[in-house]
Structure 1
Amino acid sequence: MLQLDKLKHQDSNNFFLMAGPCAIEGEDIALRIAEKIMGITDKLKIPFIFKGSYRKANRSKGSSFTGIGDEKALKILEKIGHTFDVPTVTDIHESGEAAMAAAYVDVLQIPAFLCRQTDLLIAAAQTGKVVNVKKGQFLSAASMKFAVDKIIDSGNNKVILTDRGNTFGYQDLIVDYRGLPEMQRFGVPVVMDCTHSLQQPNQTSGVTGGKPELIATIAKAAIAVGADGLFIETHPDPANAKSDGANMLNLALLEDLLVKLIRVRQAVV
Structure 2
Amino acid sequence: MSVISRGPVSRAGVLAATGAFTWRALLKIKHEPKQLVDVIAIPVVFTVLFTYIFGGALGGSPARYLTTLLPGTLVMGITSCTMYGGARLAQDVTTGVFDRFRTLPVWRGALVLGHLLADAGRYLLAATIVMALGIAIGYRPAGGVPGVVGGVALVVGFGLALSWLWAAVALLVRDPATVMSLGLAVLMPPSFASDIFVQPSTMPGWLQTFVRVNPISHVADAARDLMNHTGGTAAVTWSLLAVAAITLVFGPLTVGLYNRQS
TM band (smaller chain): under 0.3
TM-score (norm 2): 0.24
Task: Report the structure, 1 or 2, having the larger strand content.
Answer: 1
- Over alpha carbons, which structure has the higher Rg? 2
> Larger relative CO (CA 8 A, sep 6+): 1 or 2?
2
Task: Report the structure, 1 or 2, having the larger helix content.
Answer: 2
TM-score (norm 1): 0.24
